[in-house]
Amino acid sequence: MGMPRFVRAKNNDESSSNIYVANCGPAVGISHDDIASVFSDFGEVNGVYAADDSGTRVIVSYSHHSSAQSAFLALNGHTCPQLGGRSLHIRYSVQNPIPKDKVSDLVPVSITASDLAISGIYLVHDFISAEEEEELLQAVDCRPWNCLSKRRVQHYGYEFCYDTRNVNTRHCLGELPSFVSPILERISSCPTFKNVENTVLDQVTVNEYPSGVGLSPHIDTHSAFEDLIFSLSLSGPCIMEFRRYESGDQLPRIASSSVAKTEGPEDDSNFIRRAIHLPPRSLLLMSGEARYAWHHYIPHHKIDKVNDKVIRRASRRVSFTFRKVRTDACKCAFPQYCDSQR
């Protein structure tokens, strides 16, 4: 999350209409609606907000400070039967306005590719069934994993070298495993995707992400892979974010922005930022502008906020990335991002 909306009130100021409530939230099976229902007994509730990324602490905002006082006196330090018998720890909180010279780390999350409005992005929900998902997970779990610093990977067809961000095309690992064949056949015949019939995908990377582990912003190396990059999400959901830097492939020093175009105050780099929700069993295609000109990444969160809904990440998320290894120089229309043309 970005800068918090609320901070602790000085000297536990009782004139505040907002209270911070610990030990309840989506991470322990208590929805914001359930919390609002309990706290509305003390007065009109304007809203219930996540206090941080833990999923176990919330802010309850009342219309009047007397309601906050009543809730504090009645519930602080006591168990609440309506909230699973959990003992609540409460203090007063005040709203923390975002300074005008700061930008928020929050970005609206799209559910569909059309809402995301990035050319070349396609998303198919429920591309595979739950049974097929389980079969794929069992297949990779029967094979050896390579351990990176925070996640595990498997490579098929060609190994992706993280130190060079490229592949050695002279060292083929063999044919792709048979368990991905149905996926490749379905991709080639899916009406959502254009110009895929004659594309022979020959490289697969399987990533396993524990809860809270994401992926740093990057563009898949132009000289390594061709235009179409498919990502199949298994086991757990995540948010994938996209950044378009006008300065090209070099990441600017500023790591946060608003949704609209924003100027980074340190180096005057301009970028646009957008996000999309990837549910389990969905297939994402990045092609054209989305593949060549937008950095994509997965924030390192345990809790994702999808518009007004808080979603806790699963204990693991596994992705299958399907690509075609490039055998000639990239001649894309985005030379400022292209290692072949710079």
| The Cα angle at residue 229 between residues 223 and 232, in degrees rounded to 5 | 145
Percent of the chain topping pLDDT 90: 60
Q: Which residues contact 328 (CB under 8 A, 6 or more apart)?
A: none
Beta bridge partners of 13: none
Mean pLDDT in residue range 13-35: 87
Q: Distance between terminal CA atoms of the chain?
A: 36
pLDDT at 156: 97
pTM over 0.75: no
Whether residue 145 contacts residue 208, with contact meaning beta carbons closer than 8 Å, is answered with yes
pLDDT at 2: 43
Three-state secondary structure readout of 124-146: ECCCCCHHHHHHHHHHHHCCCCE
Instruction: Please report which confidence band the pLDDT of residue 15 belongs to, taking 50, 70 and 90 as the band edges.
Output: confident
pLDDT at 90: 93
CA distances from 155 to 85, 141, 152, 161 (A): 47, 13, 10, 10
Mean pLDDT for the chain overall: 86
Mean pLDDT in residue range 90-116: 73
pLDDT at 194: 78
Instruction: Please report which confidence band the pLDDT of residue 52 belongs to, taking 50, 70 and 90 as the band edges.
Output: confident
Instruction: Please report which confidence band the pLDDT of residue 104 belongs to, taking 50, 70 and 90 as the band edges.
Output: very low
The tens digit of pLDDT for each residue in 290-301 reads: 999 999 999 988
**DSSP 8-state symbol, 268:** -
| The Cα angle at residue 24 between residues 21 and 30, in degrees rounded to 5 | 135
Which is higher by pLDDT, 28 or 266? 28
Percent helix, percent strand, percent coil in the chain, to nearest 5: 20, 30, 50
